[in-house]
């Protein structure tokens, strides 16, 4: 009886797996192109200049709706990130339009004050209800972990997925969220003739379902770069996506450096242990 039950369970799992694959495959497959980022792969590192441009795009475009509640102003000065001068970030925090609610004061009342280095980078809204009321019911998500919360989808047959996963592990592929964000920001196109876009919605070829409430946030020439980088949607998207990838993983560069050091340490330790074993047990009969 147990054997028959086990067979039935395995068969049911296979049927469900095949049904799920068929369900996803029924809609139009959205293929997200892999981008070669400076931080791609097992040895990639963030490009400081790109992170600085990306923060500029965030500040001048994205901050109008989205916050970075898990990123603090002081993080913008730390190694491995944009590495802005501390005095410049202090000034930036003090002039940030979204002030910090603090208190209570001596009279027991809460009050508003300018941000400091130790404060998070707040969005423009006090809470979700205020955001939805301003955005016609849509809720602009916090962008602190957005590249970790999103990723690309694979539309291959389920039997192929283990091999795709092994390939990603071998290449150190961790940029699925960045690839998706870049595709989303550059994916606004005119809707096909046979598609009706809902009221207040916008067509995006990379978004699941292809309709979302956020209009295209980027346009050529919208942000003025100081380093001569061409001011195009493509560059804006790459830069702000790189910045958001750093925001979601600020220890990225240090983690990879330590990882290589740990691997070297383990390799040397393995060789020493092997040589020690050979010497200790050389004259012992087995």
The per-residue pLDDT for 229 is 95
pLDDT at residue 93, as a whole number: 95
pLDDT digits 0-9 by tens, 114-147: 999 999 999 999 889 999 999 888 899 999 999 9
**What is the per-residue pLDDT for 286?**
65
Q: What contacts 210, CB < 8 A, 6 or more positions away?
A: 191, 195, 203, 204
- Helix axis angle for 48-60 and 233-248, nearest 10°, is 100
**Residue 4, helix vs strand vs coil:** helix
pLDDT of residue 267: 94
The residue with tokens 């916008």 is 202
State which H helix or E strand residue 253 sits in. Answer: helix 252-280
Residue 136 is predicted with a pLDDT of: 84
Q: Torsions phi, psi of 211, nearest 5? A: -130, 125
Residue 178's pLDDT is 96
All residue ranges of the chain with pLDDT < 70 are 1-29, 286
Residue 119 confidence (pLDDT): 95
Composition of the chain by helix, strand, coil, percent to 5: 45, 5, 45
Q: Which fold has domain 27-44+142-248?
A: Cytochrome Bc1 Complex; Chain D, domain 2 (1.10.760)
């Amino acid at each position: 009886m147990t054997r028959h039950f086990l067979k039935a369970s395995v068969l049911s799992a296979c049927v469900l797996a095949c049904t799920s694959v068929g369900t996803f495959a029924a809609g139009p497959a959205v293929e997200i192109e892999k981008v070669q980022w400076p931080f791609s792969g097992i040895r990639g590192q963030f490009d400081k200049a790109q992170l600085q441009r990306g923060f500029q795009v965030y500040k001048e475009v994205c901050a109008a709706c989205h916050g970075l509640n898990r990123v603090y102003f002081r993080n913008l000065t730390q190694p491995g990130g944009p590495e802005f001068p501390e005095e410049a970030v202090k000034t930036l925090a003090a002039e940030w339009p979204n002030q910090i609610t603090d208190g209570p004061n001596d009279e027991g009342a809460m009050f508003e004050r300018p941000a400091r280095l130790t404060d998070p980078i707040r969005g423009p809204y006090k809470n979700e209800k205020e955001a939805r009321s301003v955005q016609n019911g849509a809720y602009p998500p916090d962008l602190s972990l957005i590249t970790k919360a999103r990723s690309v989808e694979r539309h291959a047959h389920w039997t192929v997925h283990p091999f795709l996963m092994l390939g990603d592990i071998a290449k150190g592929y961790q940029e699925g969220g960045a690839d998706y964000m870049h595709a989303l920001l550059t994916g606004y196109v005119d809707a096909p003739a046979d598609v009706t876009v809902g009221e207040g919605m916008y067509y995006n070829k990379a978004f699941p379902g292809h309709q979302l409430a956020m209009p295209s946030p980027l346009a050529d020439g919208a942000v003025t770069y100081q380093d001569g980088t061409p001011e195009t949607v493509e560059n804006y998207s790459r830069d702000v996506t790189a910045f958001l990838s750093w925001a979601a993983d600020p220890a990225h560069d240090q983690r990879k450096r330590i990882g290589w050091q740990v691997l070297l340490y383990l390799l040397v330790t393995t060789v020493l242990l092997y040589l020690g074993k050979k010497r200790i047990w050389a004259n012992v009969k087995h």
